[in-house]
């Protein structure tokens, strides 16, 4: 396995620029928070995807849609989250999110 493949996403994206943020991302967020047993990974993914959509944070949505599928959420369920949030978070946010979802889901087939 090459050194590039062993790096986390945060290390590849910003490791040389913001090493402390990478450390917090890898060790605290994904190493601790995501591993807590009080919520199942599927539930954490659902919450995270909904939060990203509600906040209009589509830059990280693609990664988390893929993670949500790995954690057991179906494409249909994730589309339904976006539809539901159109009425609670706003139509423009849902339209932006569905475009990201389309790209992720079409690429993943």
pLDDT score, position 3: 55
Q: What is the residue-wise DSSP string for 27-89?
A: IIITTTGGG-TTS-HHHHHHHHHHHHHHHT-GGGHHHHHHHHHHTT--HHHHHHHHHHHHHHT
Neighbouring C-beta atoms of residue 37, cutoff 10 Å? 5
Residue written as tokens 């790995």?
70
pLDDT score, position 1: 42
pLDDT score, position 108: 72
Per-residue pLDDT of the chain (109 residues; tens, 9 = 90+): 445 568 998 999 999 999 999 999 999 999 999 999 999 999 999 999 999 999 999 999 999 999 999 999 999 999 999 999 999 999 999 999 999 999 999 987 6
Q: Report the alpha-carbon distance of residue 108 to residue 24 in Å, rounded.
A: 29
* Superfamily, domain 40-109: AhpD-like (1.20.1290.10)
Write down the domain spans for the chain.
1-36, 40-109
Q: What is the residue-wise DSSP string for 5-31?
A: HHS-HHHHHHTTT-HHHHHIIIIIITT
pLDDT score, position 55: 97
Neighbouring C-beta atoms of residue 69, cutoff 10 Å? 17
């Amino acid at each position: 396995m090459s050194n590039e493949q062993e790096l986390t996403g945060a290390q590849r994206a910003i490791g040389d620029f913001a090493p402390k943020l990478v450390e917090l991302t890898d060790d605290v967020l994904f190493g601790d928070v995501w591993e807590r047993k009080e919520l199942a990974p599927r539930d954490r993914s659902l919450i995270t995807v909904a939060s990203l959509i509600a906040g209009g944070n589509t830059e990280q949505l693609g990664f988390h849609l893929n993670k949500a599928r790995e954690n057991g959420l179906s494409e249909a369920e994730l589309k339904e989250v976006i539809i539901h949030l159109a009425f609670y978070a706003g139509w423009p946010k849902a339209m932006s999110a569905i475009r990201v979802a389309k790209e992720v889901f079409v690429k993943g087939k």
